[in-house]
Amino acid sequence: MFHAHGLITQDGASPGDIIAAAEKELNKYPTVELVDDRVTGLAEHWGRGVFTCAYCDGFEHGDTHLALTGSTFFVPPIARILTGWSPHVTAFSNDLDAAVRAELGAHGVNVDERPIARVNGDGSTVSSLELTDAPTCRSARFSSPSGPPRTTNSP
């Protein structure tokens, strides 16, 4: 995408300009920390294999292995939504408490605490995820509700 449309005050702006403006605004707040949370291959598949909206894109990828990552706030409800599209859902998160992990397990969601090192695919679909401590890859689609490769956290 070379420019945005329909984004109030940013119509026609490039994604890089929008990110720069957002970072400038967020830097004004002492409780916001910008985190450079890059996963190799994530940006190349953004919007083409890596999706943010389970409602918009879940149905088209139903019955495949869906993987999910994101903040503790988003992972549980989005994981439950994804189980409506696929019986094979894995949530990658290392900060879910035991009660949330148990609740997700009761819905058939596998929780994996290992970090994702790489998203593999052809640029239009995701074929697998490579984990940092695993020599092999997992077959999966990928959904990230936390936003593009750059995310923000507020303590």
| All residues at 6 or more sequence positions from 23 whose CB lies less than 8 Å from its CB, including other chains | 34
**Confidence at residue 28, expressed as pLDDT on a 0 to 100 scale:** 93
Strands (E), the chain: 33-36, 50-51, 66-69, 89-92, 109-112, 116-121, 126-131, 137-139, 141-143, 150-153
Could you tell me if 116 and 91 are in contact, meaning their C-beta atoms sit under 8 angstroms apart?
Answer: no
When the pLDDT of each residue in the chain is averaged and rounded to a whole number, the result is 80
Q: Look-up: residue for tokens 């605004």?
A: 25
Give the strand order in the sheet containing 109-112: 50-51, 141-143, 66-69, 89-92, 109-112
**Confidence at residue 102, expressed as pLDDT on a 0 to 100 scale:** 96
Here the tokens at position 34 are 């910008």
pLDDT block averages, 10 residues each, the chain of length 155: 73 83 91 78 81 76 82 87 89 90 95 88 84 67 54 37
Structural class in CATH, domain 39-148: alpha beta
**Confidence at residue 24, expressed as pLDDT on a 0 to 100 scale:** 92
Task: Tell me the pLDDT tens digit for each residue of 141-155.
Answer: 666 655 444 433 333
**Confidence at residue 146, expressed as pLDDT on a 0 to 100 scale:** 52
- Listed residue (108, 56, 42, 102) closest to 79, CA to CA: 108
Distances (CA, A) of 62 to 87, 123, 139, 147: 8, 20, 14, 21
**Confidence at residue 109, expressed as pLDDT on a 0 to 100 scale:** 95
Residues carrying CATH 3.50.50.60, the chain: 39-148
**Confidence at residue 34, expressed as pLDDT on a 0 to 100 scale:** 78
The overall pTM is greater than 0.85 = no
